[in-house]
Amino acid sequence: MSDSTRCPTTDNGALFACQGRLPRLPVPDLDGTLAKYARSLEPLLLPDELAHSKSLIEEFKMSAQGRELQQRLETRAADPSCANWLEDWWNNLSYMGYRDPVIPYVSYHYSFSDDPSCSTAVERAAKLIEGAIVFRQEIVDGTLEPDMTRTTPLCSHSFNFMFNACRIPSIPSDHCQTSTYNGNETIVVVRGGQFFVFSFLRNGSRLSADEITATLEQIVQVADKNTAVPIGILTADNRDSWTKNRKVLLGLPGNKDLLDAIEASAFLVVLEKERPVTREEFSHAVWHGSGRNRWFDKPCQFVVCDNARAGFCGEHSMMDGTPTLRLVEFAIAHASKLPTPSAARAKRDPEFRALHFQTSPAIVSAVKQAEELFATAVSKQNLRVLCFDAFGKEQIKQLGCSPDAFIQLVIQLAYTRLHGHARPTYESSMTRKFLHGRTETCRSVTCDSVAWCASMADQNTDNAARIKLFRDALATHSLLVKEAVNGQGVDRHLLGLRMLVKQGEKVPGIFEDPVYSYSSHWYLSTSQVSSENFTSYGWSEVTPKGYGIAYNICKNCLIIHIICMRNEYGLDSDRLARSFETAAKDVHDMISGSPHKQ
């Protein structure tokens, strides 16, 4: 799934010191998974539908084929050459083999809080660049410690794909290309659809923030006087189309070296001409902008707007949110300690190179088609960022609740009130305690959550009974999350069994049951990344019939990024945001016994 000129398995240093003793992702017990799967269907189906699906589950449980598939999966997991039985399947099915554009359907963004010390975009960018360079150097020299949950180290494998890496389009499946750290101490800057590259290491010493500022100032001056065919928009195209057009680009004189410069660079810095004001404008600007001023295949793009507002756009295929969260938190913290940079204090003159792509009529036509596809897709995104400031993490904990479980139940109540019923809901749960682990699904809709939501609409249910139902639902959700992070969820295990049905073998009825597809069709796709340094973070819905809900649990507020498509299914992010706000206050009042004071 990756091509590399450096070998991740031989990387050393503190970051990778624990890799050899991390446990492998387990294969859950078959009977246990099937029982959990059956329970997850109970709140979603009518009695006749449930009875039919349970009969197929029982049939699979008792079948020789079920036992054979389980044995095949256990054999795969025990293979010493297989670091993680899920890894290749998951990376291909969810990311590399996915053919729709990465924007808006794969990439995510973080929108940063403002830095009052910076009045210009180049000042803000220079400080963030220095922070990212220092973080990268700690990976290169082996001093960065691994992520931990209390005393448990987490897998560091995904850090191999953070810097000097790029997703490369290919048919039928893309791959990730990594380049050597040494000799590629470069950053690519994009402005006005034009690409520039500079080295942050000169004669063995790193550029200072002042010198980076001087470099960026001159890049802006050059870019704002010129125009170019916005080649970057091709990375926002359908992956098969981009594969074909990349080959056309490579066939034109000089372009191979330019593509190599972008793909091998440490990371990308985007200097946007936009000046976003509202939270929604800011999210759109960081996430995708006009599409012409990006290289969406790079895993790390720092985005800085002309009003010095900044953020991060991440390509999701080889890294989930926790590694990049650590990167940007480090960069922001480092930047906060720096004085405002000044080009006047630069000790060395700027040195950079413009990357002038050769184009052809076919490329110009491809760019126009990609622009149209991008504009259509982005125009359908109905985005709302809710900053709920009535209370936050501290107050939720004072109510005796897990903040994450609290938010998940509020989401269920808000959705149920707005749409009249519960729908299959995905919460991402991290499995990085295992070697090459990424995520597992927590199926958030439970009989307990549905019973509690119903009680909130039932005037005959007293408050004590509602609180009891709520706390039962909290406990159930927390148990499901615990099982998921320990590799004991439902969805990845069932996927593994299904993938091992050989060509020509009968597909088990459990997988042909429409309910199997329906129950993993995520009408609500949810995930938490929390930082006091963000004004929002988010990504798109995963189905035209559903919402994407990214939430940031801050100390004294909740930031909820809600998105859906504008289409025939009648979803509305604004209305769901208002429903969430009301539901959150109602839950607070239910537990505290008195209305929350504004």
Q: From CA 155, how far away is CA 132, in angstroms rounded?
A: 21
Cross-strand bridge partners of residue 548: 525, 563
Q: Are 540 and 284 in contact (CB under 8 A)?
A: no
Q: From CA 215, how far away is CA 210, in angstroms rounded?
A: 9
C-alpha pair distances (Å), 82 with each of 22, 74, 93, 161, 459: 14, 11, 18, 19, 56
Q: Give all domains of the chain, ordered by start, each with its CATH number.
A: 102-141+161-379 (3.30.559.70), 382-489+523-592 (3.30.559.10)
Q: What are phi and psi of 23, to 5 degrees?
A: -70, 155
Q: Shortest CA distance to 554 belongs to which of 336, 431, 390?
A: 390
Gyration radius of the chain over CA positions? 25
Among the listed residues 316, 436, 477, 588, the single catalytic one is 316
- What pLDDT digit, counting tens, does each position of 546-576 carry? 999 999 999 999 999 999 999 999 999 999 9
Residues lower than pLDDT 70 in the chain: 1-12, 594-598
Other Cβ atoms less than 10 A from the Cβ of 52: the count is 16
Q: Shortest CA distance to 296 belongs to which of 179, 173, 166, 189?
A: 166
Q: From CA 486, how far away is CA 84, in angstroms rounded?
A: 14
> What pLDDT is stored for residue 595 in this prediction?
59
Tell me if residue 429 falls in helix, strand or coil.
Answer: strand
Cross-strand bridge partners of residue 524: 425, 547
The pTM score is 0.95
Q: Are 136 and 266 in contact (CB under 8 A)?
A: yes
* Sequence-distant (≥ 6) Cβ neighbours of residue 181 within 8 angstroms: 6, 136, 139, 140, 163, 164
> What pLDDT is stored for residue 593 in this prediction?
82
C-alpha pair distances (Å), 391 with each of 404, 530, 553: 14, 15, 10
109 is catalytic: no
